[in-house]
Amino acid sequence: MIRRLFGTDGIRGTANMEPMTAETALRVGIAAGLHFTRGDHRHRVLIGKDTRLSGYMIEPALTSGFVAAGMDVILVGPMPTPAVAMLTRALRADLGVMISASHNPYHDNGIKLFGPDGFKLSDEVEAEIESRIDGDMTADLAPPQRLGRAKRLEDADGRYIEFAKQTLARGQTLAGLKVVVDCANGAAYKAAPAVLWELGAEVVPIAVSPDGFNINESCGSTHPQTMCEQVVVHGADIGIALDGDADRVLIADETGRLVDGDQIMAAIARALQADDLLTGGCVVATVMSNLGLERYLETIGLSLDRTQVGDRYVVERMRAQGCNLGGEQSGHIILADHATTGDGIIAALQVMAAMVRANQPVSRICRLFEPLPQLLRNVRIGVTGGDLMSAEPVKRVIADAETSLRDRGRLLIRKSGTEPLIRVMAEGDDEALIERIVDDIAGEIERAAAV
């Protein structure tokens, strides 16, 4: 089936334009509610959101759909995506929903669905729900006596805060650490500072005044410059930058230098391995993770298992391989011992715990390898794109590039799943060679697309 609504991370688009309209959200609620209605018990769904203005439109539309399908609705308001996943499982809900477009600007929004186990839905389940959305669901609606009800869960923040704190070892505190935390004016604007403060840290919160429009605006993990600067200004030990729904994190060391997801995974892998807590013998990451991470893991007896881009594909591979650590260079860090999806707060806590135990600064804990030069270029193509990769000049330049790189680097060429683009990425020890390879391949693809 060709999927019209669901992408690599749920449904996403511009608010009040298809597919992010109230009408579509209503139908998503009905379809997902019907799909997860199994058995005679009172079914219920938990709905969280970030701080976008359009959440006030999407939330009641989804609620109406679930109520019409006969599901009771638990509303938790602005909450991190991983909190929604955790609460869905903890409250034995049949389904969890997060209304968020993650790191996108305020005018976008999205719908992420979680099963009763707290994991994001598989491609197959999403396809089944989409098939229902496109069909006539009238006959399946709940009769009047079986309509659902909606209520708010008042202590949702407190439940997640306590959960996050308990991911640290018993007795572990952050006393003595000064922490700058950038909440992106998003879903974690209350929870993140509270977790850090209750664990004993001195907290400098920034971007904690959401107004419906300023989520991710010049702040958060996609704009970490302010966070890095504030670390230096306040003489902080560490900076933490979350995205709009707090499922990803980037870190700044005590000098204000940025640390990406690859370096965070390396630091956590070493800490878990030292405590004999790393499972599966590897770390799972996507094809975009730096070759430097792969080489570092090999030096400590671990391997890097790569998946396609998307944190849910990382999670699926982790479950299949029995691994408890995985993530993305962008800052999605999945710690399977604690969470079913990326959790920026919990990942940052693990780094800080390693700092405290080793009595070392972030610059030592999270600088375990030097990233190889990596260059990514997006080549715009036609909507259909054709089979540009089979053009002889393109095949020839790719073969030449692979020969030039040999064991000195890596080449990745892939079609975007969301835009009419072909992404050309190369990395290796020789920066000049990498630039030449990317220029040559991108040029040939552009020429083939123009024919």
- Residue type for 365, please? I
By mean pLDDT, which of 38-42, 57-61, 327-331 is the weakest? 38-42
- Contact call for residues 42 and 142 (beta carbons, < 8 A): no
User: How high is the pLDDT of residue 60?
Assistant: 98
Q: What is the pLDDT of the chain when averaged over all its residues?
A: 94
DSSP state of 191: H
Cα separation values, 145 from 70, 141, 172, 286, 392, Å: 9, 11, 51, 48, 65
Phi-psi region of 208 (alpha: psi -120 to 50; beta: other; left: phi over 0): alpha
| Cis ω for the linkage preceding 19 (within 30 of 0) | yes
The rounded distance, in Å, linking the Cα atoms of 278 and 300 is 12
User: How high is the pLDDT of residue 100?
Assistant: 97
Whether pLDDT at 1 is above 70: no
Q: Which helix (H) or strand (E) holds 402?
A: helix 392-405
The rounded distance, in Å, linking the Cα atoms of 240 and 188 is 12
Higher confidence at residue 450 or residue 183? 183
- Residue type for 90, please? A
Can you list the domains of the chain with their CATH numbers?
6-154 (3.40.120.10), 160-365 (3.40.120.10), 374-450 (3.30.310.50)
Cα separation values, 128 from 9, 51, 371, Å: 16, 29, 41
The stretches of 216-310 forming alpha helices (DSSP H) are 225-234, 261-274, 291-299
For the chain, percent of residues with pLDDT exceeding 70: 98
Count of CB atoms situated within 10 Å of the CB of 152 = 10
Cα separation values, 429 from 169, 290, 291, Å: 39, 12, 10
User: How high is the pLDDT of residue 248?
Assistant: 96
- Contact call for residues 38 and 26 (beta carbons, < 8 A): no
* 196 burial level (CB within 10 Å; 0-12, 13-18, 19+): buried
3-state DSSP of 314-334: HHHHHHHHCCCEEECCCCCEE
Cα separation values, 211 from 14, 215, 230, 364, Å: 18, 8, 22, 38
List the structure tokens of 10.
Answer: 């749920």
The stretches of 38-183 forming alpha helices (DSSP H) are 55-68, 81-90, 123-133, 156-165
pLDDT digits (tens, 9 = 90+) for 317-354: 999 999 999 999 999 999 999 999 999 999 999 999 99
The stretches of 101-190 forming alpha helices (DSSP H) are 123-133, 156-165
- Contact call for residues 28 and 62 (beta carbons, < 8 A): yes
Mean pLDDT of 104-129: 95
User: How high is the pLDDT of residue 390?
Assistant: 84
pLDDT digits (tens, 9 = 90+) for 382-435: 755 567 888 899 999 999 999 999 878 999 998 876 567 898 999 999 999 999
Closest by CA to 342, choosing from 257, 243, 266, is: 243
- Residue 291, classed as helix, strand or coil, is helix
The rounded distance, in Å, linking the Cα atoms of 257 and 303 is 27
pLDDT band at 61 (very low <50, low <70, confident <90, very high): very high
What is the Cα gyration radius of the chain?
23
Phi-psi region of 338 (alpha: psi -120 to 50; beta: other; left: phi over 0): alpha
Distance separating the N- and C-terminal Cα atoms of the chain: 30
User: How high is the pLDDT of residue 414?
Assistant: 85
Catalytic residue list? 102
User: How high is the pLDDT of residue 57?
Assistant: 98
DSSP state of 207: S
In sequence order, the 6+-apart residues with CB closer than 8 A to the CB of 360 are: none
The rounded distance, in Å, linking the Cα atoms of 136 and 145 is 21
User: How high is the pLDDT of residue 335?
Assistant: 98
pLDDT band at 146 (very low <50, low <70, confident <90, very high): very high
pLDDT digits (tens, 9 = 90+) for 71-112: 999 999 999 999 999 999 999 999 999 999 999 999 999 999
The rounded distance, in Å, linking the Cα atoms of 96 and 10 is 12
- Contact call for residues 162 and 131 (beta carbons, < 8 A): no
User: How high is the pLDDT of residue 3?
Assistant: 67
pLDDT digits (tens, 9 = 90+) for 367-381: 999 999 999 999 988
Cα separation values, 172 from 165, 175, 412, Å: 9, 9, 42
User: How high is the pLDDT of residue 300?
Assistant: 97
pLDDT digits (tens, 9 = 90+) for 213-252: 999 999 999 999 999 999 999 999 999 999 999 999 999 9
Whether pLDDT at 2 is above 70: no
Cα separation values, 164 from 120, 167, 286, Å: 20, 6, 26
